[in-house]
Structure 1
């Protein structure tokens, strides 16, 4: 592998880093280019932490024999703690404790530095091992994304040449920059979707971040909250409140997302969501499907929590459809991507009526009228009501008790 080959791969990495792209593809293309230039790579892995509500880190793998193993590794935050022992005895952890650096083990000579993971590679036929950990500067750290680790091996008799090790020393940081750039895009997507919602998050990432930049849309509005949450919270021990909220919120949000809705706000025990971007009848049907899914998930959750001897709560839900303003509202420095309008006020009042009429779910007149005929047949009127803070009284509907019981 001569200098010209190394320079060409470096130029390619710079271009790919600017271009962006998926990390596994980037690593695989890099390894194939190195092989074509004469660097006898056998296996490779690159690991980088992330900032994600579910995943703590991600790893990307390549092997020249292209085995039947996943090229992407995602390490969940609450993974089996028994695996921590493997991590604490790994070369990567050893290098991290040193503040970064590199480790070379000439496997063909029996050198494994006392690491069982390295020994496994030697037994598998690899002849040389080269690992690096590059630490990020404090100002460049994002959450736990403070380093990038890599591991390179070969199965060629005699291992890597000195010039190949030098090439890896030079090229690995450039590869790391390209992978870090891709990972940061992924982190941005995860953050905005986790805190703003899927559709609002995508709109913000596409540049809709100006104050007052809103769209007038017609959407199905969902507002739900937990029945008697205040009573429950006062009776619970302090350590039970957050798991209680998380468990019930997970049920509601999962059902909304599965039906194609977007959660916009978590207001204590309340959840505001919309179903839009489609024909009104389709959006209303999707919301109805989410309600049914939520009830099934809620039943499973209650069975589990009751078996554990911890509190449960039912969910009150209001569904409405109307025009709202959807976009950025706030000050020049602090914005919120949300929906506002009379319809938002109405749906919250409809949900608050559930307790008064002893129903778990209530639908507005407009929502009822929007549904296809076969779906409207599943609903029955509970009467006409004046909603607090809403200028007009309206007829409210609920699911036919006989159909629900059946």
Structure 2
């Protein structure tokens, strides 16, 4: 008579303490196989709550151990999913058992043939039920020439409730982290989930700051349909996000068509490092938008333009708000100056301007544009632009 107690004990004492699902799966498989199972491959498909990712798929095999694959939403419209055992289990909720060594592969979904090519002889796919009418799909396969015995399957099914407990903990935590990353940003989301949640919690940091907004946005709202306007905004946001993420920046806030972005000076960073990253990200975003605009014009849509103000300084990074609605943001005079710099891009006629403070921390030559009095700042702002941008701007004006 088989005994699952050692596996249940491991789950309740050790398995539940793992922070990383990949490490958990490695430990679980070592425990299962060490207690009489002969499982060569396991896959756990957890439904994500993420704008790009539909499924977090964790797969373990003897050769590579556990690994994570993020599967996009398009999977549910693909031939890899239609007609597969996983789709059948999702639709009907009943387990699927396929004795791989005893079937005609032509009668089954192509994924079954792929399992046979791996040398697997038996396959079992089932749901693991969570609270709130949610579930994940879990599959196991073996290389044993005899396949799984009926006792193996029954014994495994008896463990699903215990396995489900720790999987639900992990998927709940991962969804929470994913939502925080999506709506607050990776660094900010991590601070919140680690407990920095009380009003007034915060710290003083040094950072390169970015403020940008779309040119002629009012005109766009009056001339484009709602769908076209949303598509236009998303094109702009996506262009900026791609450049900013690559350079280590974080979008902290959307304000209509405006964006507040932080390149925080963290351990190992210098003031020069974060300022160079901010400038490089701005240049890349502006260049990338030119490509986007080529496609927009071809689709009879107006081109998008935006201005960027960059500054470097000290800000308070933390929680503000009411008792029941908080915002994690940056505050301080440096933020106001950054926004005012962006406003000056319209007056000076170049899309990228920076403070004299930031200009001193980058290697690229800049042009001093002058001192400009702005609202809310006691002293006039000393404004710089990239020399290369101003040269191009001057040439274009002469051609015009």
Scaled to the shorter chain, the TM-score interval is: 0.7 to 0.9
| Equivalent position of 1:194 in the other structure | 182
Q: Out of 371, 374, 392, which is 2:361 matched to? A: 371
Q: CA–CA distance in 1 between the matches of 2:145 and 2:243?
A: 56
* RMSD over equivalenced CA pairs, Å: 2.8
Following superposition, the deviation at residue 126 of structure 1 comes to 3.8
Task: Give the 3 Å change call, closer, same or farther, for CA 279–105 of structure 1 in structure 2.
Answer: closer
| Equivalent position of 1:47 in the other structure | 45
Contact 2:315 2:333 in 1 (8 A): yes
Q: CA–CA distance in 2 between the matches of 1:80 and 1:176?
A: 23
Contact 1:225 1:270 in 2 (8 A): yes
Long gaps (5+) in structure 2: 396-400
Q: Out of 254, 274, 278, which is 2:262 matched to? A: 274
Following superposition, the deviation at residue 73 of structure 1 comes to 3.0
Question: Which deviations, in whole Å up to 9, do the C-alpha atoms of 1:325-345 show, x marking residues without a partner?
Answer: 210001121110011222222
Q: CA–CA distance in 1 between the matches of 2:340 and 2:150?
A: 73
| Equivalent position of 2:379 in the other structure | 392
Task: Give the 3 Å change call, closer, same or farther, for CA 109–285 of structure 1 in structure 2.
Answer: closer
Q: CA–CA distance in 2 between the matches of 1:336 and 1:402?
A: 36
Long gaps (5+) in structure 1: none
Q: Out of 347, 370, 390, which is 2:338 matched to? A: 347
Q: CA–CA distance in 2 between the matches of 1:402 and 1:268?
A: 27
Contact 1:256 1:287 in 2 (8 A): yes
Task: Give the 3 Å change call, closer, same or farther, for CA 307–15 of structure 1 in structure 2.
Answer: farther
| Equivalent position of 1:93 in the other structure | 87
| Equivalent position of 2:398 in the other structure | none
Q: CA–CA distance in 1 between the matches of 2:293 and 2:61?
A: 46
Following superposition, the deviation at residue 21 of structure 1 comes to 3.5
Q: CA–CA distance in 2 between the matches of 1:158 and 1:360?
A: 69
Question: Which deviations, in whole Å up to 9, do the C-alpha atoms of 1:182-229 show, x marking residues without a partner?
Answer: 333322222212111222112112211111112233322210111112
Contact 1:26 1:179 in 2 (8 A): no
Single out whichever of 233-242 and 295-304 deviates more from structure 2.
295-304
Following superposition, the deviation at residue 122 of structure 1 comes to 7.5
Task: Give structure 1 regions of 4+ aligned residues with deviation exceeding 6 angstroms.
Answer: none
Q: Out of 283, 287, 290, which is 2:274 matched to? A: 283
Is 1:104 paired with 2:91? no
Q: How many residue pairs are counted as aligned between the two chains?
A: 389
Following superposition, the deviation at residue 115 of structure 1 comes to 4.3
| Equivalent position of 1:132 in the other structure | 126
Q: Secondary structure at the match of 2:137?
A: strand
Contact 1:244 1:311 in 2 (8 A): no
